[in-house]
Amino acid sequence: MTDETPGHVDPTKDRFALFKDLPRDEPVHMLNLVKLKPEATYADGRTATGREAYAAYGRDSGPVFRRLGGRIVWSGRPDLTLIGPEAERWDIAFIAEYPSGQAFIDMIRDPVYREAVKHRQAAVATSRLIRMAPGKPGEGFGEEG
């Protein structure tokens, strides 16, 4: 991401409507790729690093995430983009599992989560959030699970 490129921090109404149109009663994996700001930008002027603000988001939203049956099924440290835009670098990568699409919707509508999300908004320069249907690992590339 360059300084001129707008970040992707929150879903648009159109994208969220598409999410809601997908099955709500099936398990969902959400691939999270996150690029943090060096310094978080809070509307009230408080200061923190992007990493500190994102940690606050995790701390404050975690109880809602877990109460609705969410769990982290994979987490790793991005080292290098081998294929893809060189400027697109990620600080955080993980896959969150939800028991259903409805559980994800319930999480983002929860008042405690909605308060916690201000930390994410302050911390994140850009991100990618990709909904995936969980599959079974296969031995070959490109196999459907």
Residue 26 has pLDDT above 70, yes or no: yes
Q: What is the DSSP letter of 49?
A: B
C-alpha 126: how far from its chain's center?
Answer: 10
Q: What is the pLDDT of residue 4?
A: 39
* Residue 26 backbone dihedrals phi, psi, to 5 degrees: -115, 150
- pLDDT tens digits along 119-135: 999 999 999 999 999 98
- CATH-assigned architecture of domain 25-132: 2-Layer Sandwich (3.30)
User: Residue 105: which of 36, 7, 4, 23 has the closest Cα?
Assistant: 23
CB 28 within 8 A of CB 135: no
Query: Which structure tokens are listed for 45?
Result: 């002027």
3-state secondary structure of 57: helix
Model pTM above 0.75 = yes
CB 36 within 8 A of CB 125: yes
